[in-house]
Structure 1
Amino acid sequence: MFEGFSTARGVVRSLRIYYGNRSRAAAMDRLYGGFVRRGDLVFDIGAHVGDRVASFRRLGARVVAVEPQPALARVLKLFYGRNSEVSIETKAVGRRAGTISMMINIDNPTVSSASPAFVAAACQAPGWEGQRWTKSVTMPLTSLDVLIDKYGTPAFIKIDVEGFEEEALAGLTRAVAALSFEFTTIQRDVALACIERCIAIGYTRFNAALGETQSFANAEWVDGQEITRWLTTLPRAANSGDIYASLA
Protein backbone atom coordinates (compact mmCIF):
# COMPACT_ATOMS: atom_id res chain seq x y z
CA MET A 1 0.00 0.00 0.00
CA PHE A 2 2.67 2.51 1.05
CA GLU A 3 4.86 1.54 -1.89
CA GLY A 4 1.97 2.25 -4.27
CA PHE A 5 1.32 5.62 -2.62
CA SER A 6 4.99 6.61 -2.87
CA THR A 7 5.14 5.68 -6.55
CA ALA A 8 1.91 7.55 -7.29
CA ARG A 9 3.24 10.62 -5.50
CA GLY A 10 6.48 10.44 -7.51
CA VAL A 11 4.58 10.10 -10.79
CA VAL A 12 2.31 13.05 -9.97
CA ARG A 13 5.37 15.16 -9.13
CA SER A 14 6.92 14.24 -12.50
CA LEU A 15 3.70 15.07 -14.35
CA ARG A 16 3.63 18.48 -12.70
CA ILE A 17 7.27 19.15 -13.60
CA TYR A 18 7.21 17.87 -17.17
CA TYR A 19 3.73 18.94 -18.28
CA GLY A 20 3.13 22.09 -16.25
CA ASN A 21 5.38 24.58 -18.06
CA ARG A 22 4.18 25.93 -21.41
CA SER A 23 7.37 27.85 -22.16
CA ARG A 24 9.41 24.69 -21.60
CA ALA A 25 7.14 22.79 -23.99
CA ALA A 26 7.54 25.49 -26.63
CA ALA A 27 11.33 25.42 -26.26
CA MET A 28 11.28 21.64 -26.57
CA ASP A 29 9.28 21.86 -29.79
CA ARG A 30 11.79 24.35 -31.23
CA LEU A 31 14.70 22.09 -30.32
CA TYR A 32 13.21 18.87 -31.69
CA GLY A 33 11.80 20.73 -34.69
CA GLY A 34 15.36 20.83 -35.99
CA PHE A 35 15.30 17.05 -36.34
CA VAL A 36 11.67 16.02 -36.75
CA ARG A 37 9.21 16.75 -39.55
CA ARG A 38 5.53 15.89 -39.90
CA GLY A 39 5.13 12.23 -40.76
CA ASP A 40 8.58 11.22 -39.45
CA LEU A 41 9.07 8.24 -37.16
CA VAL A 42 10.74 8.92 -33.79
CA PHE A 43 11.91 6.52 -31.07
CA ASP A 44 11.60 7.78 -27.48
CA ILE A 45 13.78 5.40 -25.46
CA GLY A 46 13.09 5.92 -21.77
CA ALA A 47 9.83 7.74 -22.39
CA HIS A 48 9.12 8.19 -18.66
CA VAL A 49 5.83 10.15 -18.34
CA GLY A 50 5.77 11.05 -22.03
CA ASP A 51 6.53 14.77 -22.21
CA ARG A 52 8.84 14.14 -25.18
CA VAL A 53 6.16 11.99 -26.77
CA ALA A 54 3.86 15.01 -26.49
CA SER A 55 6.43 17.23 -28.21
CA PHE A 56 7.03 14.74 -31.04
CA ARG A 57 3.29 14.46 -31.57
CA ARG A 58 2.88 18.25 -31.67
CA LEU A 59 5.49 18.18 -34.44
CA GLY A 60 3.40 15.60 -36.30
CA ALA A 61 5.69 12.60 -35.82
CA ARG A 62 4.76 8.99 -35.28
CA VAL A 63 6.31 7.77 -32.03
CA VAL A 64 7.55 4.49 -30.60
CA ALA A 65 7.64 5.12 -26.84
CA VAL A 66 9.75 2.60 -24.92
CA GLU A 67 9.43 2.53 -21.13
CA PRO A 68 10.01 -0.58 -18.98
CA GLN A 69 8.61 0.63 -15.65
CA PRO A 70 5.05 -0.58 -15.14
CA ALA A 71 3.90 2.58 -13.30
CA LEU A 72 5.21 4.88 -16.03
CA ALA A 73 4.00 2.59 -18.81
CA ARG A 74 0.50 2.88 -17.32
CA VAL A 75 0.76 6.68 -17.56
CA LEU A 76 1.85 6.41 -21.20
CA LYS A 77 -1.05 4.10 -22.00
CA LEU A 78 -3.48 6.43 -20.23
CA PHE A 79 -2.25 9.46 -22.19
CA TYR A 80 -1.40 7.88 -25.55
CA GLY A 81 -2.76 4.33 -25.61
CA ARG A 82 -5.65 5.27 -27.92
CA ASN A 83 -3.47 7.27 -30.29
CA SER A 84 -2.82 5.22 -33.43
CA GLU A 85 0.34 7.27 -34.07
CA VAL A 86 1.96 6.15 -30.80
CA SER A 87 3.23 2.61 -30.14
CA ILE A 88 4.19 1.74 -26.55
CA GLU A 89 6.79 -0.91 -25.74
CA THR A 90 7.07 -1.92 -22.08
CA LYS A 91 10.69 -3.00 -22.33
CA ALA A 92 14.23 -1.92 -21.52
CA VAL A 93 16.68 -1.29 -24.36
CA GLY A 94 20.20 -2.72 -24.43
CA ARG A 95 22.71 -4.32 -26.75
CA ARG A 96 20.61 -7.42 -27.42
CA ALA A 97 17.18 -8.91 -26.72
CA GLY A 98 16.66 -10.87 -23.50
CA THR A 99 15.78 -9.92 -19.92
CA ILE A 100 17.39 -7.61 -17.37
CA SER A 101 17.01 -6.68 -13.72
CA MET A 102 15.89 -3.09 -13.18
CA MET A 103 16.41 -1.21 -9.92
CA ILE A 104 13.32 0.83 -9.04
CA ASN A 105 13.36 4.10 -7.14
CA ILE A 106 9.87 3.94 -5.67
CA ASP A 107 9.75 7.59 -4.58
CA ASN A 108 11.22 8.92 -7.84
CA PRO A 109 10.55 6.38 -10.60
CA THR A 110 11.99 8.56 -13.38
CA VAL A 111 15.51 7.77 -12.10
CA SER A 112 15.03 4.01 -11.90
CA SER A 113 17.82 2.25 -13.76
CA ALA A 114 19.09 -1.01 -15.20
CA SER A 115 22.68 0.10 -14.45
CA PRO A 116 24.16 -0.94 -11.07
CA ALA A 117 27.07 1.42 -11.80
CA PHE A 118 24.68 4.37 -12.14
CA VAL A 119 22.98 3.57 -8.84
CA ALA A 120 26.35 3.21 -7.10
CA ALA A 121 27.58 6.53 -8.51
CA ALA A 122 24.37 8.34 -7.54
CA CYS A 123 24.40 7.00 -3.99
CA GLN A 124 27.78 8.66 -3.40
CA ALA A 125 27.15 11.94 -5.22
CA PRO A 126 26.22 15.41 -3.96
CA GLY A 127 22.79 16.39 -5.21
CA TRP A 128 21.50 12.82 -5.11
CA GLU A 129 20.95 12.68 -1.38
CA GLY A 130 17.86 10.79 -0.34
CA GLN A 131 17.49 8.82 -3.57
CA ARG A 132 16.93 5.11 -2.86
CA TRP A 133 16.59 2.14 -5.17
CA THR A 134 14.77 -0.36 -2.98
CA LYS A 135 13.10 -2.72 -5.42
CA SER A 136 14.28 -4.88 -8.31
CA VAL A 137 12.14 -6.23 -11.15
CA THR A 138 13.02 -8.37 -14.15
CA MET A 139 12.03 -6.74 -17.43
CA PRO A 140 12.13 -7.85 -21.07
CA LEU A 141 15.03 -6.36 -23.00
CA THR A 142 15.11 -5.36 -26.66
CA SER A 143 17.59 -3.46 -28.84
CA LEU A 144 17.45 -0.48 -31.18
CA ASP A 145 18.19 -2.74 -34.15
CA VAL A 146 15.25 -4.98 -33.20
CA LEU A 147 12.97 -1.95 -32.89
CA ILE A 148 14.11 -0.69 -36.31
CA ASP A 149 13.39 -4.09 -37.84
CA LYS A 150 9.91 -3.97 -36.31
CA TYR A 151 8.87 -0.35 -36.90
CA GLY A 152 11.22 1.02 -39.57
CA THR A 153 14.09 3.51 -39.48
CA PRO A 154 13.36 6.59 -37.37
CA ALA A 155 14.41 10.11 -38.25
CA PHE A 156 15.45 10.69 -34.64
CA ILE A 157 16.14 8.60 -31.53
CA LYS A 158 16.02 10.12 -28.03
CA ILE A 159 17.74 8.00 -25.35
CA ASP A 160 17.33 8.74 -21.64
CA VAL A 161 17.85 5.56 -19.64
CA GLU A 162 19.67 6.59 -16.44
CA GLY A 163 23.20 5.35 -16.99
CA PHE A 164 22.30 2.58 -19.46
CA GLU A 165 22.88 4.76 -22.55
CA GLU A 166 26.09 3.00 -23.58
CA GLU A 167 24.30 -0.36 -23.56
CA ALA A 168 21.41 1.06 -25.59
CA LEU A 169 23.73 2.51 -28.23
CA ALA A 170 25.62 -0.80 -28.42
CA GLY A 171 22.44 -2.25 -29.89
CA LEU A 172 22.42 0.24 -32.78
CA THR A 173 24.58 -0.89 -35.70
CA ARG A 174 23.21 1.44 -38.39
CA ALA A 175 23.15 5.18 -37.88
CA VAL A 176 19.90 7.09 -38.24
CA ALA A 177 19.82 10.76 -39.25
CA ALA A 178 20.17 12.04 -35.68
CA LEU A 179 19.92 10.97 -32.06
CA SER A 180 20.40 12.25 -28.52
CA PHE A 181 21.51 10.57 -25.32
CA GLU A 182 21.47 11.81 -21.74
CA PHE A 183 24.73 12.34 -19.86
CA THR A 184 25.46 12.90 -16.18
CA THR A 185 28.63 14.30 -14.67
CA ILE A 186 28.57 11.55 -12.03
CA GLN A 187 29.10 9.06 -14.90
CA ARG A 188 31.05 11.05 -17.45
CA ASP A 189 32.77 7.86 -18.64
CA VAL A 190 29.45 6.49 -19.90
CA ALA A 191 28.83 9.58 -22.01
CA LEU A 192 32.38 9.50 -23.39
CA ALA A 193 31.84 5.87 -24.41
CA CYS A 194 28.57 6.90 -26.09
CA ILE A 195 30.40 9.56 -28.09
CA GLU A 196 32.94 6.97 -29.20
CA ARG A 197 30.11 4.65 -30.24
CA CYS A 198 28.43 7.41 -32.24
CA ILE A 199 31.68 8.18 -34.05
CA ALA A 200 32.21 4.48 -34.78
CA ILE A 201 28.84 4.15 -36.55
CA GLY A 202 29.30 7.31 -38.59
CA TYR A 203 28.21 10.43 -36.72
CA THR A 204 30.35 13.48 -37.43
CA ARG A 205 28.47 16.45 -35.89
CA PHE A 206 27.70 16.98 -32.22
CA ASN A 207 26.08 19.48 -29.88
CA ALA A 208 24.71 19.44 -26.34
CA ALA A 209 21.97 20.88 -24.15
CA LEU A 210 22.47 21.33 -20.42
CA GLY A 211 19.82 20.16 -17.98
CA GLU A 212 16.31 21.06 -19.10
CA THR A 213 17.34 24.24 -20.95
CA GLN A 214 16.08 22.85 -24.28
CA SER A 215 18.72 24.90 -26.11
CA PHE A 216 22.15 24.09 -27.50
CA ALA A 217 25.20 24.91 -25.40
CA ASN A 218 27.38 25.51 -28.48
CA ALA A 219 26.61 28.10 -31.15
CA GLU A 220 27.98 25.78 -33.83
CA TRP A 221 27.94 22.02 -34.23
CA VAL A 222 31.34 20.47 -33.48
CA ASP A 223 33.19 17.24 -34.23
CA GLY A 224 33.63 14.28 -31.92
CA GLN A 225 36.97 15.48 -30.58
CA GLU A 226 35.57 18.87 -29.60
CA ILE A 227 32.41 17.53 -27.93
CA THR A 228 34.64 15.13 -25.98
CA ARG A 229 36.76 18.07 -24.81
CA TRP A 230 33.61 20.02 -23.89
CA LEU A 231 32.22 17.16 -21.82
CA THR A 232 35.55 16.41 -20.15
CA THR A 233 35.95 20.02 -18.96
CA LEU A 234 32.32 20.50 -17.93
CA PRO A 235 32.05 21.32 -14.20
CA ARG A 236 30.59 18.53 -12.08
CA ALA A 237 27.94 20.95 -10.85
CA ALA A 238 26.47 21.03 -14.38
CA ASN A 239 24.99 17.66 -13.36
CA SER A 240 23.32 16.44 -16.56
CA GLY A 241 22.10 17.16 -20.06
CA ASP A 242 21.81 15.63 -23.50
CA ILE A 243 24.35 15.19 -26.28
CA TYR A 244 23.07 15.30 -29.86
CA ALA A 245 24.69 13.48 -32.76
CA SER A 246 23.85 14.13 -36.41
CA LEU A 247 25.00 12.73 -39.75
CA ALA A 248 24.60 16.06 -41.53
Structure 2
Amino acid sequence: MLAIHRFLLTRTPRLYFHVRNIGRKAVGTRRKQRTLFSELIRPGDLVFDVGANIGEFSAAFRDCGARVVSVEPQPRLTAHLRRRFGADPEVTVVATALSDHAGEATLFCTSADALATLEEARVTGAVGAGAELEWNDTIQVPLRTLEALVAEYGPPVLVKIDVEGHEAGVVRGLTTTRPSLFFEVNRESVDEVLDLLADRGYTDFLLREGERPDWVSRRPVPAAEMRALIAATETDCDCLALSPDAALVGDRRPAEAPGSVSDARDR
Protein backbone atom coordinates (compact mmCIF):
# COMPACT_ATOMS: atom_id res chain seq x y z
CA MET A 1 0.00 0.00 0.00
CA LEU A 2 2.83 2.41 0.82
CA ALA A 3 4.37 1.65 -2.57
CA ILE A 4 1.11 2.66 -4.29
CA HIS A 5 0.94 5.89 -2.29
CA ARG A 6 4.59 6.62 -3.09
CA PHE A 7 4.11 6.02 -6.81
CA LEU A 8 1.01 8.21 -7.04
CA LEU A 9 2.48 11.01 -4.95
CA THR A 10 5.77 11.20 -6.80
CA ARG A 11 4.59 10.42 -10.35
CA THR A 12 1.04 11.81 -10.50
CA PRO A 13 0.57 14.26 -7.61
CA ARG A 14 -2.54 15.87 -9.14
CA LEU A 15 -4.27 12.50 -9.31
CA TYR A 16 -3.05 11.58 -5.83
CA PHE A 17 -4.46 14.69 -4.19
CA HIS A 18 -7.66 14.45 -6.23
CA VAL A 19 -8.19 10.87 -5.01
CA ARG A 20 -7.48 11.96 -1.43
CA ASN A 21 -10.07 14.72 -1.73
CA ILE A 22 -12.65 12.23 -3.00
CA GLY A 23 -11.81 9.77 -0.24
CA ARG A 24 -12.11 12.35 2.51
CA LYS A 25 -15.43 13.50 1.06
CA ALA A 26 -16.71 9.93 0.92
CA VAL A 27 -16.11 9.39 4.64
CA GLY A 28 -17.68 12.74 5.51
CA THR A 29 -14.55 14.47 6.81
CA ARG A 30 -15.50 17.91 5.49
CA ARG A 31 -19.05 17.60 6.85
CA LYS A 32 -17.71 16.63 10.28
CA GLN A 33 -15.29 19.56 10.30
CA ARG A 34 -18.04 21.94 9.22
CA THR A 35 -20.27 20.70 12.04
CA LEU A 36 -17.45 21.04 14.57
CA PHE A 37 -16.56 24.61 13.61
CA SER A 38 -20.02 26.00 12.86
CA GLU A 39 -20.32 27.35 16.42
CA LEU A 40 -16.83 28.86 16.38
CA ILE A 41 -16.93 30.82 13.12
CA ARG A 42 -19.26 33.52 11.82
CA PRO A 43 -19.57 34.61 8.16
CA GLY A 44 -16.81 37.07 7.36
CA ASP A 45 -14.49 35.92 10.16
CA LEU A 46 -10.81 35.53 9.37
CA VAL A 47 -9.32 32.07 10.01
CA PHE A 48 -5.74 30.83 9.59
CA ASP A 49 -5.31 27.20 8.46
CA VAL A 50 -1.71 26.38 9.43
CA GLY A 51 -0.55 23.13 7.89
CA ALA A 52 -3.37 23.19 5.35
CA ASN A 53 -2.28 20.01 3.51
CA ILE A 54 -4.95 19.22 0.87
CA GLY A 55 -7.29 21.91 2.17
CA GLU A 56 -10.04 19.95 3.89
CA PHE A 57 -10.11 22.32 6.88
CA SER A 58 -9.88 25.36 4.61
CA ALA A 59 -12.90 24.08 2.68
CA ALA A 60 -14.86 23.50 5.90
CA PHE A 61 -13.99 27.00 7.11
CA ARG A 62 -15.25 28.41 3.81
CA ASP A 63 -18.47 26.41 4.26
CA CYS A 64 -18.89 28.36 7.51
CA GLY A 65 -18.44 31.65 5.64
CA ALA A 66 -14.92 32.45 6.86
CA ARG A 67 -12.15 34.19 4.98
CA VAL A 68 -9.19 31.81 5.04
CA VAL A 69 -5.43 32.19 4.97
CA SER A 70 -4.26 28.70 4.02
CA VAL A 71 -0.64 28.14 5.08
CA GLU A 72 1.34 25.23 3.63
CA PRO A 73 5.10 24.87 2.94
CA GLN A 74 5.13 21.81 0.62
CA PRO A 75 5.28 22.94 -3.03
CA ARG A 76 3.13 20.09 -4.36
CA LEU A 77 0.47 20.87 -1.80
CA THR A 78 0.52 24.64 -2.32
CA ALA A 79 0.10 23.99 -6.05
CA HIS A 80 -2.88 21.77 -5.26
CA LEU A 81 -4.39 24.38 -2.91
CA ARG A 82 -4.06 27.09 -5.56
CA ARG A 83 -5.82 24.87 -8.08
CA ARG A 84 -8.52 23.92 -5.59
CA PHE A 85 -9.26 27.44 -4.38
CA GLY A 86 -8.05 29.45 -7.36
CA ALA A 87 -11.54 30.74 -8.17
CA ASP A 88 -12.29 31.72 -4.56
CA PRO A 89 -11.12 35.25 -3.66
CA GLU A 90 -11.75 34.55 0.04
CA VAL A 91 -8.92 31.99 0.24
CA THR A 92 -5.30 33.13 0.27
CA VAL A 93 -2.61 30.44 -0.04
CA VAL A 94 0.69 31.27 1.67
CA ALA A 95 3.65 29.02 0.84
CA THR A 96 5.64 28.98 4.07
CA ALA A 97 6.28 27.07 7.27
CA LEU A 98 5.60 28.79 10.59
CA SER A 99 7.74 28.93 13.72
CA ASP A 100 8.84 31.40 16.40
CA HIS A 101 11.25 33.24 14.10
CA ALA A 102 11.61 34.20 10.46
CA GLY A 103 14.21 32.75 8.10
CA GLU A 104 14.63 29.40 6.42
CA ALA A 105 14.49 25.82 7.67
CA THR A 106 14.75 22.21 6.61
CA LEU A 107 11.39 20.53 6.14
CA PHE A 108 11.43 16.73 6.42
CA CYS A 109 8.95 15.02 4.09
CA THR A 110 7.72 11.49 3.47
CA SER A 111 7.78 9.77 0.12
CA ALA A 112 4.56 7.86 0.79
CA ASP A 113 2.24 10.56 2.05
CA ALA A 114 1.89 14.32 2.25
CA LEU A 115 3.16 14.63 5.83
CA ALA A 116 6.03 16.93 6.70
CA THR A 117 7.68 18.24 9.85
CA LEU A 118 10.33 20.68 11.03
CA GLU A 119 11.10 18.33 13.93
CA GLU A 120 14.12 16.13 13.18
CA ALA A 121 13.38 14.02 16.26
CA ARG A 122 10.10 12.97 14.62
CA VAL A 123 12.01 11.79 11.56
CA THR A 124 14.55 9.71 13.48
CA GLY A 125 11.77 8.02 15.43
CA ALA A 126 12.96 9.46 18.72
CA VAL A 127 9.50 10.90 19.42
CA GLY A 128 6.03 10.92 17.95
CA ALA A 129 4.21 9.04 15.23
CA GLY A 130 5.45 8.35 11.73
CA ALA A 131 7.95 5.52 12.22
CA GLU A 132 6.06 3.47 9.60
CA LEU A 133 6.70 6.15 6.96
CA GLU A 134 9.81 6.84 4.95
CA TRP A 135 11.15 10.29 5.86
CA ASN A 136 13.66 10.29 3.04
CA ASP A 137 13.20 13.71 1.49
CA THR A 138 14.10 17.22 2.66
CA ILE A 139 13.45 20.64 1.21
CA GLN A 140 14.42 24.13 2.28
CA VAL A 141 11.40 26.27 3.04
CA PRO A 142 10.85 29.85 4.20
CA LEU A 143 9.90 30.44 7.83
CA ARG A 144 7.48 33.09 9.02
CA THR A 145 5.66 33.72 12.28
CA LEU A 146 1.99 34.00 13.09
CA GLU A 147 2.74 37.61 14.08
CA ALA A 148 3.88 38.31 10.52
CA LEU A 149 0.65 36.87 9.15
CA VAL A 150 -1.41 38.94 11.60
CA ALA A 151 0.45 42.07 10.50
CA GLU A 152 -0.27 41.26 6.84
CA TYR A 153 -3.81 39.88 6.96
CA GLY A 154 -5.25 41.04 10.30
CA PRO A 155 -6.09 39.24 13.55
CA PRO A 156 -7.94 35.94 13.07
CA VAL A 157 -10.70 34.68 15.34
CA LEU A 158 -9.42 31.11 14.96
CA VAL A 159 -6.10 29.47 14.09
CA LYS A 160 -5.97 25.77 13.23
CA ILE A 161 -2.50 24.22 13.67
CA ASP A 162 -1.42 20.82 12.32
CA VAL A 163 2.35 20.81 11.98
CA GLU A 164 3.47 17.34 13.10
CA GLY A 165 5.05 18.18 16.44
CA HIS A 166 6.08 21.82 15.91
CA GLU A 167 2.94 23.30 17.52
CA ALA A 168 4.87 24.97 20.35
CA GLY A 169 7.11 26.77 17.87
CA VAL A 170 4.08 28.09 16.00
CA VAL A 171 2.36 29.23 19.21
CA ARG A 172 5.50 31.04 20.41
CA GLY A 173 5.36 33.06 17.20
CA LEU A 174 2.08 34.70 18.24
CA THR A 175 2.41 37.42 20.86
CA THR A 176 0.03 40.35 20.27
CA THR A 177 -3.37 38.69 19.86
CA ARG A 178 -5.13 35.73 21.44
CA PRO A 179 -7.44 33.98 18.97
CA SER A 180 -8.99 30.61 19.62
CA LEU A 181 -6.48 27.89 18.73
CA PHE A 182 -7.38 24.43 17.44
CA PHE A 183 -4.33 22.17 17.37
CA GLU A 184 -3.46 18.56 16.77
CA VAL A 185 -2.33 16.82 19.96
CA ASN A 186 1.19 15.47 19.60
CA ARG A 187 1.89 13.86 22.93
CA GLU A 188 5.60 14.65 22.99
CA SER A 189 4.91 18.39 22.84
CA VAL A 190 1.36 18.97 24.07
CA ASP A 191 2.40 19.78 27.66
CA GLU A 192 4.61 22.60 26.37
CA VAL A 193 1.77 23.96 24.22
CA LEU A 194 -0.70 23.87 27.12
CA ASP A 195 1.82 25.59 29.41
CA LEU A 196 2.43 28.33 26.83
CA LEU A 197 -1.28 28.96 26.42
CA ALA A 198 -2.00 28.90 30.17
CA ASP A 199 0.80 31.43 30.69
CA ARG A 200 -0.90 33.68 28.11
CA GLY A 201 -4.21 33.59 29.90
CA TYR A 202 -6.05 30.78 28.13
CA THR A 203 -8.31 29.03 30.65
CA ASP A 204 -10.94 27.16 28.62
CA PHE A 205 -10.00 24.02 26.69
CA LEU A 206 -12.03 21.39 24.82
CA LEU A 207 -10.99 17.98 23.45
CA ARG A 208 -11.98 16.19 20.25
CA GLU A 209 -11.23 12.49 19.74
CA GLY A 210 -10.58 11.10 16.28
CA GLU A 211 -12.46 13.08 13.66
CA ARG A 212 -15.74 13.24 15.55
CA PRO A 213 -18.02 16.21 14.79
CA ASP A 214 -18.32 17.18 18.47
CA TRP A 215 -16.27 17.58 21.62
CA VAL A 216 -15.67 14.87 24.21
CA SER A 217 -17.43 17.19 26.65
CA ARG A 218 -18.89 20.63 26.01
CA ARG A 219 -17.79 21.82 29.43
CA PRO A 220 -14.50 23.74 28.98
CA VAL A 221 -11.74 22.66 31.34
CA PRO A 222 -8.49 24.35 32.47
CA ALA A 223 -5.11 23.30 31.09
CA ALA A 224 -4.34 20.93 33.98
CA GLU A 225 -7.58 19.02 33.48
CA MET A 226 -7.06 18.94 29.72
CA ARG A 227 -3.66 17.36 30.32
CA ALA A 228 -5.36 14.60 32.32
CA LEU A 229 -8.04 14.04 29.66
CA ILE A 230 -5.40 13.65 26.97
CA ALA A 231 -3.40 11.22 29.11
CA ALA A 232 -6.54 9.14 29.67
CA THR A 233 -7.20 8.49 25.97
CA GLU A 234 -5.17 6.49 23.47
CA THR A 235 -7.10 7.92 20.53
CA ASP A 236 -5.68 10.53 18.18
CA CYS A 237 -7.15 13.83 19.30
CA ASP A 238 -7.24 17.59 18.87
CA CYS A 239 -7.51 20.37 21.41
CA LEU A 240 -9.34 23.70 21.23
CA ALA A 241 -8.13 26.62 23.35
CA LEU A 242 -10.90 29.21 23.43
CA SER A 243 -9.81 32.81 23.15
CA PRO A 244 -9.77 34.57 26.52
CA ASP A 245 -10.60 37.86 24.79
CA ALA A 246 -14.31 38.71 24.60
CA ALA A 247 -13.80 40.78 21.45
CA LEU A 248 -12.49 37.71 19.60
CA VAL A 249 -14.54 34.89 21.04
CA GLY A 250 -17.90 36.62 21.63
CA ASP A 251 -20.54 33.95 21.18
CA ARG A 252 -18.16 31.82 19.11
CA ARG A 253 -18.02 28.93 21.56
CA PRO A 254 -19.80 25.58 21.79
CA ALA A 255 -22.99 25.80 23.79
CA GLU A 256 -22.62 23.89 27.02
CA ALA A 257 -25.12 21.08 27.41
CA PRO A 258 -25.78 18.37 29.98
CA GLY A 259 -23.65 15.32 29.34
CA SER A 260 -20.45 13.55 30.18
CA VAL A 261 -17.37 12.25 28.48
CA SER A 262 -19.04 8.87 28.04
CA ASP A 263 -22.16 10.53 26.56
CA ALA A 264 -20.07 12.27 23.89
CA ARG A 265 -18.15 9.10 23.01
CA ASP A 266 -21.38 7.18 22.47
CA ARG A 267 -22.73 9.62 19.87
The equivalences for 1:123-202 within 5 A come to 128=130, 130-184=132-186, 188-202=187-201
Is the CA contact 2:106–2:139 (under 8 Å) kept in the aligned structure 1? yes
Rounded Cα–Cα distance in structure 2 between residues aligned with 1:6 and 1:84: 27
Choose 1 or 2 for highest CA Rg.
Answer: 2
Q: In the alignment, residue 157 of structure 2 is paired with which amino acid?
A: A
Rounded Cα–Cα distance in structure 2 between residues aligned with 1:122 and 1:73: 29
3-state SS of 2:150 partner: helix
C-alpha change, 1:39 and 1:124, in structure 2 (3 Å) is closer
Normalised by the length of structure 2, the TM-score is 0.82
Greater shift, 40-49 or 169-178, is seen at 169-178
Q: Which residue of 1 aligns with 2:208?
A: 209
Greater shift, 175-184 or 66-75, is seen at 175-184
Q: Which runs of 4+ in 1 moved over 6 A?
A: none
Q: Could you tell me the percent identity over the aligned residues?
A: 29
Q: Which residue of 1 aligns with 2:39?
A: 34
RMSD: 2.2
Greater shift, 171-180 or 56-65, is seen at 171-180
Q: In the alignment, residue 76 of structure 2 is paired with which amino acid?
A: A
Q: Which residue of 2 aligns with 1:63?
A: 68
Structure 1 unaligned blocks of 5 or more: none
Q: In the alignment, residue 145 of structure 1 is paired with which amino acid?
A: E
C-alpha change, 1:38 and 1:220, in structure 2 (3 Å) is same
Paired residues, number: 238
Q: Which residue of 1 aligns with 2:23?
A: 17
Q: In the alignment, residue 241 of structure 2 is paired with which amino acid?
A: A
Q: Which residue of 2 aligns with 1:87?
A: 92
Rounded Cα–Cα distance in structure 2 between residues aligned with 1:107 and 1:53: 23
Rounded Cα–Cα distance in structure 1 between residues aligned with 2:37 and 2:67: 13
C-alpha change, 1:115 and 1:167, in structure 2 (3 Å) is same
Q: Which residue of 2 aligns with 1:113?
A: 117
Greater shift, 64-73 or 167-176, is seen at 167-176
Normalised by the length of structure 1, the TM-score is 0.88
Deviation of 1:13 after TM superposition, in Å, equals 4.8
Residue number among 3, 6, 10 corresponding to 1:4 in the alignment: 10
Structure 2 unaligned blocks of 5 or more: 1-5, 245-267
